[in-house]
Structure 1
Amino acid sequence: MAISMSKKKSKPSKKLETKHHQFSDTLLFKILNRIPLAIFLLILIFLWSSSTTIISGKFVHVCVSSRKLNNLYCLSAGTQPNFEIPIPALNNNISTGIKEVVDIVQEVPDPIVNNGSDGEVAFAVKVVEQQLQVQRSWISNKDHVTSCDGKGIYVYDLPSKFNKDLVGQCGDMIPWTNFCKYFNNEAMGEPLVKLGKGWYHTHQYALELIFHTRALKHPCRVYNENEAKLFYVPFYGGLDILRWHFKNVSNDVKDTLGLELVKWLENKESWQKNSGKDHVFVLGKISWDFRRKNDDVSSWGTLFLELDQLQKSIKLLIERQPWHVNDIGIPHPTYFHPHLDDDIITWQLKIIRSNRTSLVSFAGAARPDAPQNIRSILINQCNNPGTNCRFLNCSSGGCDQPESVIELFMDSEFCLQPPGDSPTRKSVFDSLVSGCIPVLFDPFTAYYQYPWHLPEDHSKYSVFIEQEEVRKMKVNIIEKLKKVPLREREDMRRYIVYELLPGLVYGDSNSQLEKFQDAFSITINNLLARVNKIE
């Protein structure tokens, strides 16, 4: 669920839509009986970039659809097909060490053949799961930084064109929307008085600014590069992309700032020392927006993350690219930014005591031009009489006010979280922060995204329903959720509220949390642990 910025919508080119239908109606079905399974897998991986998902549970699905630019979220998530999706060529036994995995040059490998078996599908899943295990191995075993000895964090003072000047373009970044109001209060936005202390109208693309502000005030920040263990590059790459969405400019123009940044870094001794391994970038949009290929004639996104110079650095994003171990997902910013431990405790008590009169809710919009998307099916099931399901229609502006969304989730036992134009949704975190159990349909929505902030055992905090079962009308979502025992719901909610919630929110810029680690603290501590382990 994203903030609805305007009712104005943009349509993709008919050429792109025709191209997708050609894939769906001709190429895919003609090749099914003509190619080995290994080659077929690579074609499925290719189609990933223009589909909702390819891996779901133990199955591979291709859901080709034209990425309609229905709202700003679609713009961020949408991309035209990439013709190469890199998969690290790991051995099937996966005995690769941490350092070796980090150093992998990720290129498309030769077709992998396992004696004619269907092990290639399992291999694709295994690659993702093994990368997540590597990322989890970087998790710090300390709750808080007790000492900054040997843990210096250096924040580059970049030329203003790489960050501050981009913020200064907020007034005309999107033709019909003034972004400037979202950058007030150090990018948290305007206060939401109705929801209480610590609540702000935070934009979903504010991560870069929020993280930068917090990093500048971190107690382990150092001003001498020689004292640093970790180097943070505060490039607002998401804002850089956003400003070009509705402007008719060439790819060269879109790539200019990212290329200039790399040249700037390459002149730094701190970068040269470890080839950028100890450097981190925080990008407030999804990985696909930064992975346009050199030969891609489309106008979508930049090639920033495809640059050879950046392959060894860590990239933190709201949605990671599944084949890159150095892409790590961190939570979308929510509306809640606590200042003190008491702010969190007060909110925990409020939502654990909330009277949840609705069994199920869904805040979102249909995707009428994407027939493979399951949202319309979910909406129809939710709107059936007597289902005790509430639907908040975001396409008609129903989600413009954060209070409406949070109050809906606080009133609901379960919150439906189907993929949109990419697997992840900000709404997943809004529901968790509201104590509403998310119902997921694609493992890439959360399970394969956030290894530092969500547990490996996803049954502790969510319900998973295979979206292919929904698409084929094999399951009634409402009836299935009714069968979840009350005790099980209560256990999940208590785990969400008391175990997960503090680590999913970003405290305000001057937060004084002592008992809890927020999303920022968890991220920084794990980054430091990661740097130590790859040396």
Structure 2
Amino acid sequence: MFAKSTPNLSSSSIPCIFLSFTLLSILSLSFFFVANYPKPTCELSQLNTSPQSSIKVFVADLPRSFNYDLLNQYWAATSPDYRLPVDPDHQIHHDRLKFPPFPENPLIKQYSAEYWIFVDLETPENVRGNSFAKRVLRLEEADVVFVPFFATLSAEMELGKERSSFRKKSVENEDYKRQKEVVEIVKKSEAWRRSGGRDHVFVLTDPVAMWHVRAEIAPAILLVVDFGGWYRLDSKSSNGSSSEMIQHTQVSLLKDVIVPYTHLLPRLHLSENKKRHNFLYFKGAKHRHRGGLVREKLWDLLVNEPGVVMEEGFPNATGREQSIKGMRSSEFCLHPAGDTPTSCRLFDAIQSLCIPVIVSDTIELPFEGMVDYSEFSVFVAVDDALRPNWVLGHLRSFSQKQRDNFRHKMAEIQSIFVYDNGHPGGIGSIPPDGAVNHIWKKVHQKVPMIKEAIVRDRRKTPGVSIPLRCHCT
């Protein structure tokens, strides 16, 4: 008797068929729900992921004597000092204006960030559409508090009168008196009491600005060109020799913002660029102090090399044309440290499309994170720079195509370092891609950390001190 025939299925085939059916069912249901699920009302990129379009700024109530009246004093001065005007026409045209211009004197102009930031805030709101900073009149709405003290102009005017008394805490030192008055006014305000000054913004572009009160304003956001003016000598260093140390309890990349010097030379557009017959160019003082000692050594190594131009001087009225010609006709522009790690020379080079050669181990640069300097600059360690023939050999390793790429990158970011908005007295709309807006964007990045620090301060019990820890590099 024959057995009934059965389908030729192995025992492992049944689970496979069942699994396939199950997967097919799940996929069908998935497509059904996706097709019938209500569509979102906005894209993912719109869901609170876009950056804030402005920073809200409250301006501290300081008398005009700490800003525009200082400019009026400057234009009315008759001192023959090289920092102060001697042209009588200046007195006629500028000393009584509501919004006087900032001096063109290169020694002072290079530090004019304080002026351009304030005039933007002083511009009527209906023409400030391009500004990242929104001025608010109620303290409780503000992200930060701007202190409108022209600290650099104050310092430079005092230096112009009597250099020997500048660092003295005396009644003859007008700058010292202004510093103390500003701190006294600001610290008595409700704004300072609510935050301990952490949300206040001071512009200290000159290395000696607010020299006598730095410890008192240390909690604030300081806008500085670098940290070179915050050095001290440590007499207890090894072998009894002095070493430079930054006072990290006062300045820090965590809370402060590096801003550019104001460039002194006009912008060269890429379409205007011509063949450059010099290889390396430098114009400046040969003898400097502290970290700038490298400059004299570099000078001696390079001054007699073919294709290298080393000139003493500063781009003042007599040297400006020489500087323009030198930078625009050279492939590379040397930028060694001076009394401080950086100077306006770097930004003159960028405006001249001359590839910066930065020789400094401690330099800090403005707008890093927004700008990648390695795309258009050459960085050289001090030890390498002082090796005979090393610098020129390194620079010659860059092909002409690489140099042209550097210049194209510079052309793309030149406007980022421009303060001047082209309006008389600075009152008017600013360029959206200029220096002032980039400064406020960098300050805005600090706001969450500031708010966190303020909240932490408030929870501290009475008598508990907060360590000043700013080690951040």
TM-score of the aligned structures, taking structure 1 as reference length: 0.58
In the aligned structure 2, how far is the partner of 1:414 from the partner of 1:504? 19
Matches within 5 A, 1:20-419: 142=51, 146=53, 151-170=55-74, 171=77, 175-179=81-85, 186-189=100-103, 203-217=109-123, 219=128, 220-245=134-159, 246-249=162-165, 250-253=168-171, 254=173, 255-286=176-207, 289-290=208-209, 302-307=211-216, 310-320=217-227, 321=230, 322=246, 323=248, 324-325=251-252, 326-335=255-264, 347-351=268-272, 353-367=273-287, 373-384=293-304, 387-394=306-313, 400-419=318-337
CA contact (8 A) 1:393 1:399 kept: no
CA contact (8 A) 1:333 1:506 kept: yes
In the aligned structure 2, how far is the partner of 1:233 from the partner of 1:419? 30
| Residues 334, 202 of structure 1: alpha-carbon distance in 2 compared, 3 angstrom cutoff | farther
Instruction: Point out which structure has higher relative CO (alpha carbons under 8 A, 6+ apart).
Output: 1
| Residues 260, 331 of structure 1: alpha-carbon distance in 2 compared, 3 angstrom cutoff | same
In the aligned structure 1, how far is the partner of 2:379 from the partner of 2:385? 12
Deviations 1:304-334 (A, max 9, x none): 2112xx2221010122345322332200011
In the aligned structure 1, how far is the partner of 2:70 from the partner of 2:318? 25
| Residues 229, 349 of structure 1: alpha-carbon distance in 2 compared, 3 angstrom cutoff | same
Deviations 1:139-178 (A, max 9, x none): x985xx74x5xx4322234113322333233226773442
Helix, strand or coil at the partner of 1:280? strand
CA contact (8 A) 1:174 1:243 kept: no
After TM superposition, which residue ranges in structure 1, 4 or more long, deviate above 6 angstroms? Answer: 180-185, 368-372
Is the counterpart of residue 443 in structure 1 residue 443 in structure 2?
no
In the aligned structure 1, how far is the partner of 2:79 from the partner of 2:224? 21
| Residues 335, 258 of structure 1: alpha-carbon distance in 2 compared, 3 angstrom cutoff | same
Helix, strand or coil at the partner of 1:373? helix
In the aligned structure 2, how far is the partner of 1:206 from the partner of 1:174? 22
Is the counterpart of residue 463 in structure 1 residue 378 in structure 2?
yes
Give 1:63's aligned residue. Answer: none
| Residues 229, 469 of structure 1: alpha-carbon distance in 2 compared, 3 angstrom cutoff | closer
In the aligned structure 2, how far is the partner of 1:430 from the partner of 1:378? 20
Give 1:527's aligned residue. Answer: 443
Give 1:34's aligned residue. Answer: none
CA contact (8 A) 1:187 1:206 kept: no
Deviations 1:282-315 (A, max 9, x none): 12302xx25xxxxxxxxxx7322112xx222101
Indicate the percent of aligned positions where both proteins have the same amino acid: 22
1:452: Cα distance to partner? 4.4
Amino acid corresponding to residue 320 of structure 2 in structure 1: P
Amino acid corresponding to residue 463 of structure 1 in structure 2: V
Q: Which of 393, 411, 414 pairs up with 1:501?
A: 414
1:519: Cα distance to partner? 0.9
1:469: Cα distance to partner? 3.3
Unaligned runs of 5+ in 1: 1-139, 192-199, 291-300, 338-343
Helix, strand or coil at the partner of 2:420? coil
CA contact (8 A) 1:360 1:412 kept: yes
1:512: Cα distance to partner? 4.6
In the aligned structure 2, how far is the partner of 1:372 from the partner of 1:504? 24
Helix, strand or coil at the partner of 1:420? coil
In the aligned structure 1, how far is the partner of 2:73 from the partner of 2:136? 30
| Residues 166, 503 of structure 1: alpha-carbon distance in 2 compared, 3 angstrom cutoff | same
1:443: Cα distance to partner? 3.2
TM-score of the aligned structures, taking structure 2 as reference length: 0.65
Give 2:351's aligned residue. Answer: 433
Give 1:486's aligned residue. Answer: 400
1:222: Cα distance to partner? 2.3
| Residues 526, 164 of structure 1: alpha-carbon distance in 2 compared, 3 angstrom cutoff | same
CA contact (8 A) 1:201 1:335 kept: no
Amino acid corresponding to residue 360 of structure 1 in structure 2: L
1:232: Cα distance to partner? 0.7
CA contact (8 A) 2:152 2:206 kept: yes
1:459: Cα distance to partner? 2.4
1:438: Cα distance to partner? 0.7
In the aligned structure 1, how far is the partner of 2:260 from the partner of 2:66? 23
| Residues 336, 414 of structure 1: alpha-carbon distance in 2 compared, 3 angstrom cutoff | closer
Amino acid corresponding to residue 326 of structure 2 in structure 1: L
Deviations 1:49-90 (A, max 9, x none): xxxxxxxxxxxxxxxxxxxxxxxxxxxxxxxxxxxxxxxxxx
In the aligned structure 2, how far is the partner of 1:428 from the partner of 1:221? 32
CA contact (8 A) 2:291 2:340 kept: no
| Residues 524, 177 of structure 1: alpha-carbon distance in 2 compared, 3 angstrom cutoff | closer
Amino acid corresponding to residue 117 of structure 2 in structure 1: F
CA contact (8 A) 1:358 1:390 kept: yes
Deviations 1:322-369 (A, max 9, x none): 5322332200011378xxxxxx8xx53345x33222211111121188
Give 2:433's aligned residue. Answer: 517
Deviations 1:484-509 (A, max 9, x none): 122221222211211x2121111313
1:248: Cα distance to partner? 4.5
Give 1:8's aligned residue. Answer: none
Higher radius of gyration, 1 or 2:
2
Amino acid corresponding to residue 215 of structure 1 in structure 2: L
In the aligned structure 2, how far is the partner of 1:371 from the partner of 1:443? 9
Amino acid corresponding to residue 147 of structure 2 in structure 1: V
Give 1:80's aligned residue. Answer: none
| Residues 280, 368 of structure 1: alpha-carbon distance in 2 compared, 3 angstrom cutoff | closer
| Residues 475, 327 of structure 1: alpha-carbon distance in 2 compared, 3 angstrom cutoff | farther
In the aligned structure 2, how far is the partner of 1:234 from the partner of 1:426? 23
